[in-house]
Amino acid sequence: MMQPVYEVNNITFRYPGYKAKVLDGASLTLGKGEILCILGPNGAGKTTLLNCMAGLLRPESGEILLCGRDIRSMKEKEIATLAGYVPQLHTPAFDYSVLDFVLMGMAPKTGMLSRPGADDERKCIELLEQMGLAGLADKSYLDISGGERQQLLIARALVHEPEVVLFDEPTAHLDYGNQHRILRMIKKMAASGYSVIITTHNPDHALLLGDKAAVVSKGGTIVQGDSSEIVTEDLLSKVYDIDIRIRYIEELGRTACLVPGL
């Protein structure tokens, strides 16, 4: 069997100064080229889990293996080289040009007394061209739309070619069309070999992406499996505490997750 990209073993986490554990014995695995969709109610610890996996937070106990290595023994740079991180949409304090912004993705491969060179810049432009965003290169990052910004955050995470990309709610703050364009992009990324983890509030996204899913429950444990096994009426109704239906819709040729009404 191939070595998993991520292996989270029985981790426990609580924020300093709080008694309650956010994660309590949470485990999951991510194989190469897989898409894992992390679901869970508000405050259950989806983002906490993601941040532990990115090495931003340190679990109290348990271990996290990234490509077989314990992340506690890895430097920021080593983690960042393997795991690209796409943060939630935000507005930076300064108006960098789009190209300068994407170029920052080269940081994991750049020395502290160094800066990216012409080759790195060319790589960024090539990636922008592949993504159909080359026209934006000279624009200010503050002048473009939210959908474009989210795509550039993805470009920034991809430009140094990590093994796995972590998305913190990539569809939050986006309109309906852009949400699905981002999902399409994620699916394409997985097809070209990247492993992907996303957190989302919409269980339908797990069905649309159609690979793996994990649900973080309020108690801080995780149930993981194929999304068709995990995204079930029973489990979701319990986790979200609301009546949820999963139906196969003939015209669409897919299963969808819906609420019966208010």
Partner 1 sequence: MTDTASKRADNLSRRGLIIPVLAVVMLAAILICLCVGKYSISPADCMRILFGKIVSAEPSWDAMDEKMLIGVRLPRTMAAVIVGAALALSGAVYQGIFKNPLVSPDFLGVSSGACVGAAIAILMSMSSGFVQICAFLGGIIAVFLTVFIPRLMRSDSNIMLVLAGIIVGGAMSSILGFIKYIADPETELAAITYWQLGSFAYVDNKAVLGILPLTIIAAAVLLVMSWWINILSLGEQEARTLGANVPLLRGICIVCSTVLTAGAVCISGTIGWVGLVVPHFGRMMAGSDNRVLLPASCLIGGIFMLLVDTVTRIIGPAEMPVSILTGLIGAPFFAWLLYRQRRTIR
Q: Does 137 bind partner 1 (CB under 8 A)?
A: yes
Tell me the C-alpha distance between 262 and 240, whole Å: 14
State the minimum distance, in angstroms, from the CB of residue 230 to partner 1.
27
Q: Which stretch binds partner 1 (CB under 8 A): 30-38, 59-67, 121-129, 197-205?
A: 121-129
3-state SS class at 5: coil
Taking a C-beta distance cutoff of 8 angstroms, is the pair 131, 151 a contact? yes
Query: Under 8 Å CB-to-CB from 113, ≥6 apart: which residues?
Result: none
Query: How far from the centroid of its chain's Cα atoms is residue 157's Cα?
Result: 11
Amino acid at the residue 169: E
Classify burial at 136, counting beta carbons within 10 Å of its beta carbon; exposed 0-12, middle 13-18, buried 19 or more. Answer: buried
Site string for partner 1, 141-180 (x = CB under 8 A): -x--------------------------------------
Q: Which is nearer to partner 1, 143 or 243 (CB)?
A: 143
Site string for partner 1, 71-110 (x = CB under 8 A): ----xxxxxxx---x-x---xxxxxxx-xx---xx-xx-x
Q: Which is nearer to partner 1, 46 or 215 (CB)?
A: 46
> How wide is the angle at C-alpha 224 spanned by C-alphas 218 and 229, nearest 5°?
110
Q: Does 135 bind partner 1 (CB under 8 A)?
A: yes
Tell me the C-alpha distance between 219 and 204, whole Å: 23
Q: Which is nearer to partner 1, 140 or 202 (CB)?
A: 140
State the minimum distance, in angstroms, from the CB of residue 235 to partner 1.
31
Q: Does 54 bind partner 1 (CB under 8 A)?
A: yes
Tell me the C-alpha distance between 88 and 91, whole Å: 10
The count of chain residues that interact with partner 1, using the rule CB under 8 A, is: 43
The dihedral built from the CA positions of residue 21, 26, 30 and 34, taken in this order, carries a sign that is negative
Q: Does 20 bind partner 1 (CB under 8 A)?
A: no
Q: Does 45 bind partner 1 (CB under 8 A)?
A: no
3-state SS class at 257: strand
Query: Under 8 Å CB-to-CB from 19, ≥6 apart: which residues?
Result: none
Q: Which is nearer to partner 1, 9 or 97 (CB)?
A: 97
Q: Which stretch binds partner 1 (CB under 8 A): 2-10, 120-128, 200-208, 224-232?
A: 120-128
Residue found by looking up tokens 């109704």 in the block? 237
Enumerate binding residues for partner 1 (CB under 8 A): 16, 54-56, 75-81, 85, 87, 91-97, 99-100, 104-105, 107-108, 110, 112-116, 121-122, 125, 128-129, 134-135, 137-138, 140, 142
